[in-house]
Amino acid sequence: MAVHEFDLVILGGGSGGYAAAIRASELGKKVVLIEKDKVGGTCLHRGCIPTKALLHAAEVADHVRSAASVGVTATLEAIDAAGVRSYREGIVAKKFKGLEGLLKARGITVVAGEGRLAANRSVTVGDDRYVGADVVLATGSYSRSLPGLEIGGRIIASEQALALDEIPSSVVILGGGVIGVEFASVWRSFGAEVTIVEALPHLVPNEDIALSKGLERAFRRRGIKYSLGTRFQKAEQDDSQVTVTLEDGKSFSADYLLVAVGRGPATADLGFEEAGVSLDRGFVTVDDQLRTGVPGLWAVGDIVAGLQLAHRGFLQGIAVAERIAGMQVPALPESQIPRVTYCSPEVASVGITEEAAIAEYGADAVVAYDYNLAGNGKSEIIGTGGTVKVVRQKDGPVVGVHLLGDRVGELITEGQLAVAWEAHPEDIAPLIHAHPTQSEALGEVFLALAGKPLHAL
Ligand SMILES: Cc1cc2nc3c(=O)[nH]c(=O)nc-3n(C[C@H](O)[C@H](O)[C@H](O)COP(=O)(O)OP(=O)(O)OC[C@H]3O[C@@H](n4cnc5c(N)ncnc54)[C@H](O)[C@@H]3O)c2cc1C
């Protein structure tokens, strides 16, 4: 077996792994990145980027449909599935090429192959052994299903949904979380009949209730159907359709069933436990610095329990590379990581919900302000409704920012700065927002919470 020595060995070239590789190489480390498929991982090839390309095509279709409302004559003739596919694949291919070039330019060794963690901070790939002073585990996640519900045929997960060569005429989506509502939004814009089945009482159930209810209203207006609060019982398929039955006996039939019930950590059969790494329900157990219990072994990204988001992977990869280089990097609380669901309308949040703030500080110590986007000029111009809700401690800092409306994902960075810097609305209110922008809606809330509302009561 050939032995290769590096400062840092990284297993998995997705968001978490490649961010760690780039930062470590910037810090002068000799790095090897082991990837069995394509660098960029889920996010670039099967997640964030291709789904956002689909959502953009969906937005264009909606704009064409509603063109007459702004005095533009246009007719939507059809959605060309092959055309959408080639647009989407073109974006992914460009980003992939760019990433490969970046890794090469940084002098990072990329090894193509399936790696397995072995003893003494090493990873084996076939007959080669890569030994590091440190090893970062970044093997990512896979689409989960429910017991007895096998992916196959007309029962698909997000990977198969992206690979579909047709626009389905009807779809049932199991799961009203981020992946479920994004696909619901795309397929509805492409003309499909869509029904979401969510066992919890609301869509996007982890969000502030104001956003969940607002999204439900908006989806209802768009003709997206949903069943809330009843659990899935079974799914049966034949050559032409799949029928989903819920525990209350209701059933829905469609061309496809998309299973979007979450993602599990890809940690099985990779030698992790044999090397002394402890797992909890499959997730790698780490401390707040992302150290596993084994000296020199670290973990980042979706295999670490918490928000499964690409930018969390980037952040963790960078932080681990810096810690390995001896820098002091404080842990970032999960609540300070911005969350965006890119359906139409978009859902974006950072910090804690009003309900969580009340549980933490008490009802008398929390103030929340909800601003209806109907009052915002730019939102009116682009034809979106929605809400901006800010939660603060009474006479204290902003602890949560919750947004609903088309394009509001772009506004969440300001919310993140407010929450992470523990800003008081009084600090932000004097920093005037450009007119007419959607960001003014956030400005209005800070003004209102500072006791001087402008376009609000
Ligand atoms: C449909 C969908 C949409 C999404 N949209 C968004 C979004 O809009 N925004 C967002 O922030 N997040 C989004 N995500 C989540 C995001 O993709 C993940 O959080 C992110 O990719 C996690 O990065 P990671 O590095 O932990 O894992 P991954 O990106 O999964 O990368 C892990 C890599 O490790 C490789 N690997 C695994 N085992 C081995 C092995 N034994 N040997 C060698 N290589 C191995 C895999 O091939 C893979 O390339 C989405 C996910 C999905 C599925």
DSSP at 278: -
Evaluate the CA torsion angle 352, 353, 359, 361 in order and state its sign.
positive
Distance CA 257, CA 86 (A): 24
- CATH class of domain segment(s) 155-261: alpha beta
Give the pocket of ligand 1 (CB within 6 Å).
11-17, 34-37, 41-43, 46-48, 51-52, 114-115, 138-141, 158, 179, 266, 270, 301-302, 308-311, 313, 342
Rounded distance from Cα 359 to ligand 1 centre (Å):
33
Nearest CA to ligand 1 atom 9: 48
Does 426 belong to an annotated binding site? Answer: no
H/E stretch holding 392 reads strand 387-393
Nearest CA to ligand 1 atom 20: 310
* Strands 155-156, 225-228: pairing kind: unpaired
Best of 42, 45, 117, 187 to mutate for ligand 1, by most ligand atoms within 8 A of CB? 42
Distance CA 26, CA 112 (A): 22
| Closest by Cα among 4, 3, 12 to 320 | 12
User: CATH assignment of 345-449, given 3.30.390.30, 3.40.50.300, 3.40.50.2000, 3.30.70.270?
Assistant: 3.30.390.30
Does 209 belong to an annotated binding site? Answer: no
Residue 1 has a pLDDT of 86
Tell me, yes or no, if the two domains 2-142+264-324 and 155-261 fold the same way: yes
Residue 67 has a pLDDT of 98
Ligand 1 atom closest to the Cα of residue 12 is 34
Rounded distance from Cα 246 to ligand 1 centre (Å):
31
Nearest CA to ligand 1 atom 3: 47
Tokens, residue 193: 């009949």
**Measured in whole angstroms, how far is the alpha carbon of residue 104 from the centre of its chain?**
27
What are the angstrom distances between the C-alpha of 45 and each of 53, 203, 205?
Answer: 12, 26, 27
Does 198 belong to an annotated binding site? Answer: yes
Residue 240 has a pLDDT of 95
Does 141 belong to an annotated binding site? Answer: yes
Q: Which residues are catalytic?
A: 435
Nearest CA to ligand 1 atom 19: 309
Rounded distance from Cα 310 to ligand 1 centre (Å):
7
Ligand 1 atom closest to the Cα of residue 41 is 49
Ligand 1 atom closest to the Cα of residue 161 is 1
Q: Show pLDDT as tens, one digit a residue, over the chain (457 residues).
A: 899 999 999 999 999 999 999 999 999 999 999 999 999 999 999 999 999 999 999 999 999 999 999 999 999 999 999 999 999 999 999 999 999 999 999 999 999 999 999 999 999 999 999 999 999 999 999 999 999 999 999 999 999 999 999 999 999 999 999 999 999 999 999 999 999 999 999 999 999 999 999 999 999 999 999 999 999 999 999 999 999 999 999 999 999 999 999 999 999 999 999 999 999 999 999 999 999 999 999 999 999 999 999 999 999 999 999 999 999 999 989 999 999 999 999 999 999 999 999 999 999 999 999 999 999 999 999 999 999 999 999 999 999 999 999 999 999 999 999 999 999 999 999 999 999 999 999 999 999 999 999 988 8
Residue 227 has a pLDDT of 98
Rounded distance from Cα 229 to ligand 1 centre (Å):
29
Nearest CA to ligand 1 atom 45: 12
Q: b/e for 213-250, b at 16 or more Cβ within 10 A?
A: ebbbebbeebebebbbeeebeebebeeeebbbebeeee
Distance CA 410, CA 254 (A): 34
Nearest CA to ligand 1 atom 37: 139
CATH 3.40.50.300 at 2-142+264-324, yes or no: no
Best of 10, 37, 43, 45 to mutate for ligand 1, by most ligand atoms within 8 A of CB? 43
Ligand 1 atom closest to the Cα of residue 317 is 25
- Domain positions in the chain are 2-142+264-324, 155-261, 345-449
Does 12 belong to an annotated binding site? Answer: no
Overall residue count recorded for the chain in this entry: 457
Rounded distance from Cα 77 to ligand 1 centre (Å):
35
Nearest CA to ligand 1 atom 17: 43
Distance CA 401, CA 392 (A): 9
Distance CA 107, CA 437 (A): 42
Rounded distance from Cα 80 to ligand 1 centre (Å):
28
Does 196 belong to an annotated binding site? Answer: no
Best of 32, 48, 308 to mutate for ligand 1, by most ligand atoms within 8 A of CB? 48
Rounded distance from Cα 20 to ligand 1 centre (Å):
14
Residue 457 has a pLDDT of 80
Helix pair 15-26, 81-105: axis angle to 10 deg:
30
